[in-house]
Amino acid sequence: MPPAITMSDESSVEVAVPKAGAVVGAATDPHLADENPFEEMMARFDAAAELLDLDPGIYQVLRHPERQIIISVPIQRDDGAVEVFTGYRVVHNTARGPGKGGIRFDLMVTLDEVKALAAWMTWKCAVVNIPFGGAKGGVVCDPPNLSDTELERVTRRYTATLINTIGPESDIPAPDVNTNERVMAWIMDTYAMHKRSASQGVVTGKPIELGGSLGRREATGRGCMIVTREALKHLGLPLRGSKVAVQGFGNVGSIAAKLMEQEGMTVVAVSDASGAIYNPHGVYIDDAIQYCRDHRFLRGYPMGEEISNQELMALDVDVLVPAAVENTITRRNAGDIKAKIICEGANGPTTAKADRILNDKGVFIIPDILANAGGVTVSYFEWVQNRSGYFWDEETVVERLGANLVKAFGDVLDVAQRHSVSMRTAAYMLSVERVAAVHRIRGMYA
């Protein structure tokens, strides 16, 4: 695969580039308020809660994360200097099962972002009906400026500080932005040394040799393909020949593009942080992936016209797959989008105000908490395999992933049609009601 700097699992944000509408600006500028990730998540939650006539007490419980942890992560750099990084871990809700969510290493990690992503994980796990809650973590650091040894020290110190928070029955991390299988192996080893436990289930997204699952690396991109296929079927659009543009060509975007191509769709444009490539006859995805392996970025790829990411977003295609970072579709560019279907490979690529514009245009949006839930679904499969000590072949993983996501798509579509709401609102209604139902059954401990 191309040298994406993350191997996405629960989250599908893939490239560490500056995000549109940084949270600092959103906190102070009312014109950017729709780009604060936590407020974006809460706007969708509030809409679903109102339609569900959610009990005020449960509403308050679900608005607030169970735990918000801010820690110092001091390490000794290779030159002997001591540097202290800031780390976060947020557990949003564990009513349905252990917290589940990735760990990202990035200079732009904020508490608001981590809170939003943790809540998204709660809804994502509920919408595909797997027995996990939501969690997320991160360290504010710049991995390209850390040696491998320094990165390992950051990982192990972060893990050791959270040793009583994470665990296979409480909070299960996974890869995210700038973390990968190797980082998960360090976390697993650190946990094992402290707990004197050989539990493989403390993390997912591990190397196969340490109990990782076959088919996990491709799971999020495969999930995007599956739900897109279902959306085309629902809308009566042909699968073969449907035109697709993919914004973000890391692990999720490149795999989604490759699998969509294999299904007969024509991927006419792909992009990464360096820009976009457009070919009206179709980009040959394997060739583009190999070019990225050799050159790191798509810039200069000769088999198409170079265009900007914004031009890609406005292409006249059947399917647009935003699979890069948050807030790429805003009120400023939503009106330019011509795609009939948007499949949100990334978390939070569309702001609430952009949603309203797109809904008015009749765009069929497959929301992030459904579209990119393939990763956490196979993470659940990995956790199940770890706990049973019996591992499935890749064909079984792919078959069970497909069955799970087809059912989830049908469940969300049913809610959307019964209540005459968008797929996003329906997905939130379904997931919030599932979590709320468990709270009603369990009651409140006092």
The answer to whether 158 touches 203, Cβ cutoff 8 Å, is no
Torsion sign, CA atoms 212, 218, 223, 224: positive
Please report which residue ranges of 196-335 form alpha helices under DSSP H. 219-235, 251-262, 285-295, 309-313
Q: How far is CA 87 from CA 76, 147, 159, 163, 229, in A?
A: 16, 18, 10, 13, 39
Between strands 171-175 and 305-307, the pairing is unpaired
Give 232: exposed, middle or buried? Use CB within 10 Å, 0-12, 13-18, 19+: buried
| Number of C-beta neighbours around residue 144 at 10 A | 9
Between strands 275-278 and 305-307, the pairing is antiparallel
In whole angstroms, what is the distance from residue 280 CA to residue 266 CA? Answer: 9
> Is residue 243 annotated as part of the catalytic site, yes or no?
no
Catalytic residue among 136, 243, 258, 340: 136
In whole angstroms, what is the distance from residue 423 CA to residue 369 CA? Answer: 10
Torsion sign, CA atoms 432, 437, 442, 446: positive
List residues with catalytic annotation.
136
